[in-house]
Amino acid sequence: MSNQPALETPTVYVVDDDAGMLESTQWLLESVGLNVRAYSDGRKFLDALEDTKGGCVVLDVRMPGLGGLNVQEELQKRGIELPIIFVSGHADVPIVVRAFKSGAFDFIEKPFNEQLLLDSVQQALEAHQHSNNLQQGDVQTHALISTLTRRERDVFLPMAQGYISREIAEQLGVSVKTIDLYRARVMKRLGVERLPDVTGIAVTAGLIDPLNLRP
């Protein structure tokens, strides 16, 4: 029950060994209504991290023990794709390059402009939400397609590619009347009324190449 709010509300995880910086960053983010969890070192953050359906990480690069780049590496090993905004008072080029090559969302030098950080955090949250929506859409699309029977799927793919009933009937060795029946069943099962919607579902699921459709 206690984990539910974290699932619904994006969380900004702030990780910094400087107590003053940690507190001021937390206050800044909370002042604009963001849900914030603050940690004084990388290991504590990783140990406390549970479900991460929405959010981002404001992560100090240089910390005792587990540094920011090591935390980034550990998140990748776990398959956790939270956008990371690195902050550092010593942003030398090799560190910046390494961070971005490993997928950092942004890199901000301390002392940072408050609005710059707020803008970066908001952009990171929006990017992560967009990514989650796309993934959720993919899951729903595959769930829809999985409801098709084997014969309906045989009709669904060429139908989505733009083949007419006569051509599909020739491919499958059945009558045009049978194909028309299956076409109607496919559209009903997918919950669509137009042929372009059938094509869109197949493209979203990665089953057909949008560049290889019938003219």
pLDDT the model gives residue 165: 92
> What is this structure's pTM?
0.58
What b/e string do you get for 94-121 counting C-beta neighbours within 10 Å, with b at 16 or more? Answer: ebbeebeeeebbbbbeeebeeeebeebb
pLDDT the model gives residue 115: 92
pLDDT the model gives residue 111: 82
Of 1 and 202, more confident: 202
- pLDDT tens for residues 90-138? 766 677 877 887 778 888 888 888 898 999 898 888 875 655 554 555 5
Query: Is a pLDDT exceeding 60 seen at residue 55?
Result: yes
Range 183-211 average pLDDT? 80
Q: What percent of the chain has pLDDT over 90?
A: 33
- pLDDT tens for residues 2-15? 333 334 578 899 99
pLDDT the model gives residue 110: 85
Query: Is a pLDDT exceeding 70 seen at residue 52?
Result: no
Range 191-215 average pLDDT? 73
Of 46 and 126, more confident: 46
